[in-house]
Amino acid sequence: MRDEKTTHFGYEEVAVDEKAGRVRAVFDSVANKYDLMNDLMSFGVHRLWKRHTIEISGVHRGQRVLDLAAGTGDLSARFSGLVGAEGEVIFSDINAAMLEQGRERMLNEGRAGNLHYVQADAQYLPFPENHFDCVTIGFGLRNVTDKQLAIDAIYKVLRPGGRLLVLEFSKPTNKPLEKLYDLYSFSLLPKIGKVITGDEESYRYLAESIRMHPDQETLKGMMEHAGFERCDYFNLTGGVVAIHRGYKL
């Protein structure tokens, strides 16, 4: 049994208090090429995954949205338009370099009025309880040290009737696709990372972190354990990615 004071960093076993710094170093390294790498490694399909997340979020004018692990702001930008001037979107990331990249992008696009930027750890959210109508975390939960702690924290800051959406890499639903995906992830993806960002190891960690992330049913169970109800998930691209949704009732 794994010592309770250790956790996974990809396939490596590390001390719990070491993981956040290791993850931070990964995103410090790739921040300025983050958008380009997303397009290259997903062949642009990440835009469709995020669009589907927006479509099932139920977010509308005047609501409050918390976008965790916001990266460079693909989801935040769309939510900003949906909630309008009377709504609010919190653009949040644990990594300062990513947060600054996202803030610069939003300012360049003229999105300022209803967006607020907060550097925060998803495990320890600095927001009032029962505050948000929707919380999203896109491609970030797998990097969190204690995923259950983060899901519990999200539950607390959602108002009754609010919902959580987790967009994350998941487990392919058929063996041929899984084998092809493994070949791409461990052979090609790190090489693309080396060419574009000069950092092969960060993208090797990415592939490993995806494999260590809970599968669809396990993550659904974690959400139910936190108190979420009517939990479901949507497999996209054959389960390479899944969107999990749950409600605080």
Annotated binding-site members:
72, 93, 121-122
Residue 225 vs residues 200, 228, 235: alpha-carbon distances, Å: 37, 7, 21
> If you search the block for the tokens 């190891």, which residue do you land on?
201
List the structure tokens of 128: 């009032």
Number of Cβ within a 10 Å radius of residue 215: 11
Residue 161 vs residues 48, 157, 219: alpha-carbon distances, Å: 26, 12, 20
Coil, helix or strand at residue 84: coil
Helical (H) or strand (E) element with 243 = strand 241-247
List the structure tokens of 106: 């939003």
CA–CA separation, 246 and 249 (whole Å) = 9
CA–CA separation, 142 and 212 (whole Å) = 8
What are phi and psi for residue 139, nearest 5 degrees? 55, 40
Q: Which amino acids are annotated as binding site for S-adenosyl-L-methionine, given as ranges?
A: 72, 93, 121-122
- Decide: 146 and 123 in contact? Cβ < 8 Å: yes
CA nearest neighbour of 81 among 114, 53, 56, 108: 114
Helical (H) or strand (E) element with 229 = strand 229-236
CA nearest neighbour of 66 among 8, 126, 108, 106: 126
